[in-house]
Structure 1
Amino acid sequence: MQHDVEAWDQWATDRPGRRGTNAAGETTWFNWTIYPDHGPGAEVLGDIGPGARALELGCGSGGNLAHVATLGADAAGIDLSPVQVQAAVDRYPHLAVQVADVLGFLAAAPATYQAVYSVYGASWFTDPDDLLPLVLATLAPGGRYAFSQNPPALPGCVGPQATQMKPPAPGDPLYVKRWDYEPEEWEARLKEAGFVDVRARIIAPPADRRTGTLLVTGDRS
């Protein structure tokens, strides 16, 4: 666990912050992909207006969560990296964010969220056999789980994979584990865990890029 915290803290330290505005001039917006001003937005989460509760798993520096909060939702986020959480607090002091391990947090969370989501975050870097049942139990009836990540890098390269991270100082690189599956396998896994209305698809990248974005959604009945 400490190894993962160190890796993500270093990643957060090296990563530039979100732009002040997007192409439309908005100060908050939702991005499921790694490409600016590309792909669907918060509508993927369903009805998360006033009175709804939304939880982001791996909220990073808070950009997507800040947008969810502007929609009127009671928005909360967790992240394993103290550096990330501090960056979110510094830029968006009104947000409810905390440092937490995703499995421990969900195991203690009440089933009251209308949306639980992850954007290239904890859903990608947590064993789905452990994560999916906890997410389902955390959702209110009719609630939605949604996450995005890269598709598998190579055909057949699925299951637990190693992601190399930059070390905090010259030396051996750090590694974190991620879970890659094709869209059909993600659909099967969510259905097996008890989700309904499951959909997994790949969002095509911009014309000048090669890697699409895997977007998966599933609801609690």
Structure 2
Amino acid sequence: MAFLLHQARFYITVNHLRDLPATVQPEVAFAGRSNAGKSTAINVLCNQKRLAFASKTPGRTQHINYFSVGPADEPAGHLVDLPGYGYAEVPGAAKAHWEALLSAYLATRPQLRGMILMMDSRRPLTELDRRMIEWFAPTGKPIHMLLTKCDKLTRQESINALRTTQKQLAEYRDAGYQGELTTQLFSALKRTGFEEAHEVIEQWLAGRNDKGEAA
């Protein structure tokens, strides 16, 4: 099966909102705690080994990295790799900068179609993960959560993690969250959930919702 994401390449790095590219193509943002496996997941989804780089020192990546997908002469959209969050040893000033950058990008970027939120399946929906959801909630745009590293859990533990996360997401719907909130198990090592995640992302880039309808 051919995937649009397999035609991915680096586009630009920015560190301030004013430097965001004046592109019109749809964007899908990737967010997650440091060490949640975000860079590895992006590489696997794009069928490349070193498209997205994971810093040797967690929490050091302070930039927003853009990757174009689709034909080089006419990109179908962009994947947007947001800085990892939640690493305790990052200086306070850097944390404040990241928070301002992340929250403003998520809340105001009109090209953004949805957010892929990476969470370690052994520790889903931490306080900081919930903060990301709450920053994004006012937009009404969808969030699809990848419970990463599920290969480190037994089958029953994976099922329990997925069910628990789904139950917690229902609380957001009950509270009036307007966007779609979906989740799945994912393992870059075992390629678990690979095609499901692809389908969600490519539908967003094509301007469709999770039912295949025009958004």
Q: TM tier, shorter chain?
A: 0.3 to 0.5
TM-score scaled by structure 2? Answer: 0.40
Write 1 or 2 for the structure with the bigger share of helix: 2
Higher relative contact order (CA 8 A, sep 6+): 2
Write 1 or 2 for the structure with the bigger share of strand: 1
